[in-house]
Amino acid sequence: MRALSVLFVLAAAPAAAQYACSEDRVSVVGEFGRVNFEVEVADDAEERAQGLMFVEEMPTLDGMLFVYDRPQRTAFWMRNTLIPLDMIFAGADGTIRRIHANAVPMDETSIPGGDDIQFVLEINGGLAARLGIAEGDALQHPAIGDGAALPCD
């Protein structure tokens, strides 16, 4: 619970006090404010295939950012994934198009992200709703290049 209290303080802090863009951090910005996640980046086929498989626990504000070379149709599953996850699917400009909440550990049912998805942020299950993250919010990360809804400085 303390981590969420700290989170809301960060979300309410002035923009100048926010973290600068970096490879190991994704910011999500929306009507709720701003939240920063420490992430591992999966930007090649092998890393994307491994994802968060076999991870037994993940700190509250950690996650994984999947980066594709171009927008495409995406689908995920939870094979060998031991913790529930929220999957946040975003287009080429980083705008969130779909959120799949609380993906069930070990479930092999396909979870479609939609067409024209280039980025997927996986965070702890249920956290997107608790924070107020919604479709239309935006991701900020250096991998989201030209035309980003929230460009890096």
Q: What is the pLDDT of residues 23-64, one digit of tens each?
A: 999 999 999 999 999 999 999 999 999 999 999 999 999 999
142 pLDDT tier (thresholds 50, 70, 90)? very high
Using one digit for the tens of pLDDT, what is the confidence trace for 53-109? 999 999 999 999 999 999 999 999 999 999 999 999 999 999 999 999 999 999 999
pTM of the model: 0.88
Task: Evaluate the CA torsion angle 97, 30, 132, 22 in order and state its sign.
Answer: positive
β-pairing, 62-76 vs 33-42, is parallel
The C-alpha atoms of residue 63 and residue 78 are separated, in whole angstroms, by 15
- C-alpha closest to that of 123 among 10, 8, 36, 13: 36
Write the CA distances from 1 to 5, 8, 27, 115, 130, integer angstroms: 6, 11, 20, 36, 12
